[in-house]
Homo-oligomer: A and B are copies of this chain.
Amino acid sequence: MSIIVQKYGGTSVADVERIKNVAGRLCRTHEQGHRVLAVVSAMGDSTDRLLKMAHEISAEPPERELDMLFSTGERISVALLAMAIHELGHEAISLSGAQAGIHTTTTHTKARITDIDTRRLSEALDGGKIVLVAGFQGISPDEDITTLGRGGSDTTAVALAGALGAESCEIYTDVEGVYSADPNLVKEARKLNAVSYEEMLEMAATGAEVLMLRSVEYAQKYGIPLRVRSSFSDDPGTLVKEEDEQMEKAVVSAITHTEDESKLTLLRVPDKPGIAATVFGALSEAEVNVDMIIQNVSEQGTTDISFTVIQDELPAAQQALDRICDELGTAYIIGEQMGKVSIVGAGMKSYPGVAAKMFRTLADNDINIEMISTSSIKVSCVIERAQVEQAVKALHAAFGLGDD
């Protein structure tokens, strides 16, 4: 009998009524003859409320204790969901990450799964129970509770699906699937029926928030097809899977964007070996995540290095640069209010001129491109944040991504 893994995010279990709705979905899947395992997130904004209390106590709470705190939210969800399933006459069992056999590294608040002991899961599934696993958490070799960081419940679901050899992994959320652009910005945005892992990875990396990068990486690694769909409708959603012959290879599948970038440019840096290593080494030590990096051609023995960081990390980036700029004999300028717009499509590889069309479209809209970065299936442009919405709309129309 096939195993179906379903993952329900916080909005899908935000209140008692929604928990009952999810229980109904799980029971229907069970009645269709599947073995069913659900991974569940904390209810609505409950994790935010816990974090707020933690911050009222300490500006920098110990991460081990944050994990003890946060892991409670998912436990509440699975316990209540088990009750709702019992009420519908099915058997269910809630399991914490530790009980579900999810072993992780000891890196608190962003642990990685190292191993899954499926013994208890298999026993419960074989016994006909609907198994409910608290998402986002596991247990370290020290028997401490760990959490998996942002998107951790998606990762839990995909990892369990892989470990159990599940037939599929359905990620339930509050949108109908993966869209050709953010429907909040572009009213013509179209739900995509299928995208490849590679496309989804690029989309996640460039601003699509529906799936976290890490869970897509896991799914690709273990070859688990993911279905992203809404817990509030019966729409089949979007299938994320290995690229294959049948898959419609759109030149451009989607326009993604971010609106929280800042750009830093180091001016007239000596153009000699080791400079980039110094700069990005300093940023790495300060735990600043650098997104895009551009080094311009050298003139008269110096070069300009530009890079982007998310705006929240700008102060840390500045501190790191302040420490090394004297040593390097350089200065930097900041573009704080930046954004990024990207086109993603598996078909791009075999169609020349896609990037040129993107640049032309932006130019026609008087949008200046500050930085460009490409991969084989993606082109990203850093632009003024105020022009992001206009850029997304224009690109969506230019590449004909709307309905019909």
Contacts and interface: CB of A to CB of B under 8 A. Distances in A.
B68 A86 contact: no
A79 B56 contact: no
B83 A78 contact: no
A322 interface: no
A370 interface: no
Interface in A223-269: none
Contacts of A78: 68
Report, nearest first, the 8 A-B pairs whose CB atoms are least far apart.
A69-B79, A72-B72, A68-B79, A61-B83, A65-B82, A16-B56, A58-B87, A58-B83
Contact of A80 (B19, B54, B87, B93): B54
Which of A20, A50, A65, A79 has most chain B Cβ within 10 Å? A79
A50 B50 CA distance: 15
A69 B78 CA distance: 8
Interface string A120-151: 10000000000000000000000111000000
Instruction: Give this chain's copy count.
Output: 2
A318 to B, nearest CB: 27
A65 B53 contact: no
Interface residues of A, number: 37
A40 to B, nearest CB: 12
Given A68-B78, A72-B72, A86 B99 contact: no
A66 B75 CA distance: 11
Interface in A59-75: 61-62, 64-66, 68-69, 71-73, 75
A93 to B, nearest CB: 8
A206 interface: no
B87 A68 contact: no
A334 interface: no
Interface in A26-77: 50, 53-54, 56-58, 61-62, 64-66, 68-69, 71-73, 75-76
